[in-house]
Amino acid sequence: MEKEHNLFDFISVRYRDVIDIPNLSVGRGITTLFGPSGGGKTTILKMLNRMVSPTEGKIFYNSTPLVETNPVEHRRRVVMLSQNPVMFEGSIHDNLNAPFKFQKRPFPHDSAIYQVLESVGLDKNLKTTVNVLSGGEKQRLALARIILLQPEVFLLDEPSSALDADSADIVIETICHKARIEKKSIIMVTHSKTIARKYSDIIIRVAQGKITGQELNDERGS
């Protein structure tokens, strides 16, 4: 049987004085980057999405060096949800269609859109303008936006930061469940120990730009 590649491999990766990772492998499934704020978790996520490039060393995706891939194509396969996602002008519908327009892909059918909105708990008319949405609703919309894209990997930067604890639980459980069924991977940044313990297969501890620990999560609930 052919050996399965790691999802990402880091070899001697440095980014200015912010990140220093001599060696790291991230497998498939759900991985959490866990650690205190300002420790470099978001920068690592941005490196995986190629919004930031290492100043030294190499990152591999499915054993292919990232520098040998097309950055735009890569971002379409490995989609990131920012901590403070920006909403585009217009309606919920416009925001959900925007990435499809960027990627020159056919727009999803309204029934598919409503299904995803329901899964993230956003019960709104598609014509609603985004200006009237609360912070939590915008975060749900942003999550729906990337779920619709069906990428190979979801990079989630504090996906529950604008949600209350109960909503966060539902939303994260939804995307994790979806990822497991569709055999997609998630790399999620969080500083919540509860979220890390509840959903991840692997927990990677990050502090001061370094990997301070990596463990299999035996306590996973879902």
Partner 1 sequence: MNGVAELTLWQIITAYLFVIIVLIITRSRGISRTKEIVLSSVRMTLQLVLAGYILVYILDHPNPFATIGIVALMEVFAIYTIIGKFKGILTGELKIVIALSMGLGAGSCLLYLILAVIGVNPWYDPQYFIPIAGMVIGNSMTGVSLAVKNLLDGMTTRKQWIEEALILGAAPREATSDIINRTFDSAIMPTINSMLGMGIIFLPGMMTGQILAGISPTTAIAYQIAIMLAILGSVAMTVILTLQMGYKTFFNREEQLV
Provide, rounded to whole angstroms, the least separation between the CB of residue 76 and partner 1: 4
Told to check if 69 binds partner 1 by CB under 8 A, we report: no
String of b and e for 180-189 (b: at least 16 CB within 10 Å)? beeebbbbbb
Question: Position 183: which residue type?
Answer: K
| CA–CA distance, 210 with 205 (Å, rounded to integer) | 8
User: Which residue in the set 27, 36, 38, 71 belongs to the binding site for partner 1 (CB under 8 A)?
Assistant: 71
Q: Which amino acid is at 108?
A: P
Residue 97 contacts partner 1 per CB under 8 A: no
In DSSP terms, which residues pair with 123 in a beta bridge?
none
Tell me which stretch binds partner 1 (CB under 8 A): 49-57, 117-125, 189-197, 208-216.
49-57
Regarding 88 and contact with partner 1 (CB under 8 A), the answer is yes
**Rounded-to-integer distance, Cα 174 and Cα 179, Å:** 9
Which one among 41, 50, 140, 205 touches partner 1, defined by CB under 8 A? Answer: 50
What sign does the CA torsion over 22, 28, 32, 38 have?
Answer: positive
For 119, the token pair is 């899964």
- Shortest CB 138 distance to partner 1, Å: 12
Residue 114 lies near partner 1 (rule: CB under 8 A): no
In what helix (H) or strand (E) does residue 141 lie, and over which residues does it extend?
helix 135-149
Q: Which residues pair with 32 in a beta bridge?
A: 188, 203
Restricted to residues 119-158, the positions that interact with partner 1 (CB under 8 A) are 145-146, 149
CB of 186: closest distance to partner 1 in angstroms?
16
Quote the least distance from Cβ 193 to partner 1, whole Å: 27
Rounded to the nearest 5°, which phi and psi values hold at 20? -145, 100
- Residue choice 28, 75, 138, 184 for contact with partner 1 (CB under 8 A): 75
Strand 30-34 versus strand 19-26 pairing type: unpaired
| Phi, then psi, of 6 in degrees rounded to 5 | -70, 160
Residue among 71 and 213 whose Cβ is closer to partner 1: 71
Q: How far is the CB of 168 from partner 1 (least distance, A)?
A: 21
Minimum CB distance to partner 1 smaller for 89 or for 215: 89
Q: For residues 38 and 71, which CB has a smaller minimum distance to partner 1 in the complex?
A: 71
Give the containing element (helix H, strand E) for 170.
helix 165-181
Give min distance, CB of 71 to partner 1, in A.
4
Residues of this chain that bind partner 1 (CB under 8 A): 49-53, 71-72, 75-76, 79-80, 82, 85-86, 88, 98-99, 101-104, 145-146, 149
